[in-house]
Amino acid sequence: MTETLKGSRILLGVSGGIAAYKACELTRGLRELGAEVQVLMTVAAQQFVTPMTFQALSGRPVRSDLWDPLAEAAMGHIELARFAEHMVIAPASADCLARLAHGLASDLLSTVCLASAAPLSIAPAMNQQMWRHPATKANLAQLLQRGVRCIGPETGAQACGDHGPGRMAEPSQIIADLLAQRAQARVLAGRRILISAGPTYEDIDPARFIGNRSSGRMGFAIAAAAAAMGAETTLIAGPVALATPAGARRIDVRSAAEMHAAVLSEVGANEVFIAAAAVADYRPSTPQSRKIKRTAQALELSLIPNPDIVAAVAALPNRPLVVGFAAETEDLLVHARSKLERKHLDLICANQIGVAGTGFECDDNQLTLLWPGGERALAPAPKTELARALLLEIAARLAQRGR
């Protein structure tokens, strides 16, 4: 166990908050596991714990000043960014989350985060009302979409006297998460994975289209996790307003026909195809070149089927491992297993829609994985966590098949 993190270079950011004292125990724990730890402190963090404490625990001088003339003469913030194999911010205050979400670079910690390509984990800590505030929720959602990993927070008594969510995760929990990430980091190294995500829009006329409520978050979470696990990742995305996950190659499409063409063009070079997109089943048979004017008469649309992308991939002679999704409002497992068998898929992810808090337009989801002869339910969780669980299942199947 003491060798588990040996050689790892971890940059530990400490932002302002009473939970900064827990970062001392975290530093010690990381060092005991063999990691090299470089601590960065914000000005606010130094009001709670002194830099000398972290220097003694880490064995390295603490860095805190973006304008240190000696360090910045050699571009110190770039040096720190290159040092980091993994970045952890614990505690991550509400102010810190806002800075990261909006890409600010006004202090050393936020600047290094922008300059580094290393995976980033955050352990939020703040008052329960600050954690529940819509601004904080929006900032966190933005960070999760970019592939940032959130550890905690926990619910309990707070230093201010309140009780609720916002307590920083315990150092042992943060260390356990880092250990798990390290074990998973290269589990898909050398693999090539193609993922479709988001909705498709089928034009009625230049002003209107048929679409659906898919936000693309599940597919983008899978792409971010696949890239983080070492896979060569290609993401074919419908019309969504999401940032491209770090390490993924993105192809943008609009319609089901465009997605069908892009998937068939790319799939031959990949070992896995994950069809997370919510592709429209039908499209207007005769899209109009001019805007249809409103009248008092009923308007009828003639719809024709779109190509079945996942079935087309599953029918290829040299098919990859094919993973589908089944979003259902009723008889979830019955419909999902029927789709699995009818389309000859290797694995299908069944998720209930029409339930508040999960599925379309949400950060959380609940999946049941089904395959010929078996199934496995995943507990409700953020889509980022479900993405990792799905990819670990896929990695195990690739290994079993000797692919």
Classify 190 in phi/psi space as left (phi over 0), alpha (psi -120 to 50) or beta.
Answer: left
Q: Which of 328, 338, 398, 339 is nearest to 367 (CA)?
A: 328
Is 1 contained in some domain?
no
CA distance 226 to 391: 7
Report the alpha-carbon distance of residue 276 to residue 217 in Å, rounded.
10
Whose tokens are 């694995």? That residue is 347
Q: CA–CA separation, 14 vs 88, rounded Å?
A: 9
Looking at the structure, tell me whether residues 28 and 137 fall in a common domain. yes
178 lies in the same domain as 201: no
184, 203, 231 - which closes a domain: 184
Tell whether 396 is covered by a domain.
yes
Same-domain status, 323 and 379: yes
pLDDT digits (tens, 9 = 90+) for 248-281: 999 999 999 999 999 999 999 999 999 999 999 9
Among left, alpha and beta (phi > 0; psi -120 to 50; other), residue 245 is: beta
130 shares a domain with 203: no
pTM: 0.73
Q: Are residues 311 and 280 part of one domain?
A: yes
Termini Cα distance of the chain:
31
pLDDT, one tens digit per residue, over 359-371 is: 565 677 889 999 9
238: in domain:
yes
What range does the domain containing 38 cover?
A: 9-184
pLDDT (0 to 100) of residue 2:
42
Out of 33-47, 191-205, 290-304, 356-370, least confident range: 356-370
H-helix or E-strand containing 397?
A: helix 383-401
Binning pLDDT at 50, 70 and 90, where does residue 186 land? confident
- The catalytic residues are 160
Q: How many independent structural domains does the chain possess? A: 2
Dmax over CA atoms of the chain, in Å, equals 79
pLDDT digits (tens, 9 = 90+) for 97-131: 999 999 999 899 999 999 888 889 999 999 999 99
Domain presence at residue 4? no
Question: In this structure, are 137 and 35 located in the same domain?
Answer: yes
Rounded Cα distance, 247 and 17, in Å = 33
CATH number, residue 142? 3.40.50.1950
Task: Indicate whether 354 pLDDT > 70.
Answer: no
- Identify whether 219 is part of a domain: yes
Cα–Cα distance for residue pair 268/69, rounded to 1 Å: 53
Amino acid type, 197:
A
Give the residue from 31, 23, 76 showing the smallest Cα distance to 50: 23
Q: Are residues 86 and 164 in the same domain?
A: yes
Give yes or no: residues 323 and 254 share one domain.
Answer: yes
- pLDDT tens for 62-93 read 998 887 776 655 556 788 888 888 999 999 99
Between 126 and 147, the higher pLDDT residue? 126
Give which of 145, 177, 21, 172 is closest to 91, Cα–Cα. 21
In this predicted structure, what is the pLDDT of residue 71?
A: 62
Integer Cα distance of 239 and 198 in angstroms: 7
Q: Are residues 104 and 47 in the same domain?
A: yes
Q: Are 370 and 343 in contact (CB under 8 A)?
A: no
202 and 175 within one domain: no
Q: Are residues 178 and 197 in the same domain?
A: no
- Among the listed ranges 204-208, 259-263, 308-312, 384-388, which one has the minimum average pLDDT value? 384-388
The answer to whether 38 and 10 are in contact (CB under 8 A) is yes
Q: Report how far residue 350's alpha carbon sits from residue 324's, in angstroms, rounded to the nearest whole number.
A: 9
> Would residue 3 count as lying in a domain?
no
CATH number reported for the structural domain that contains residue 218 in this entry: 3.40.50.10300
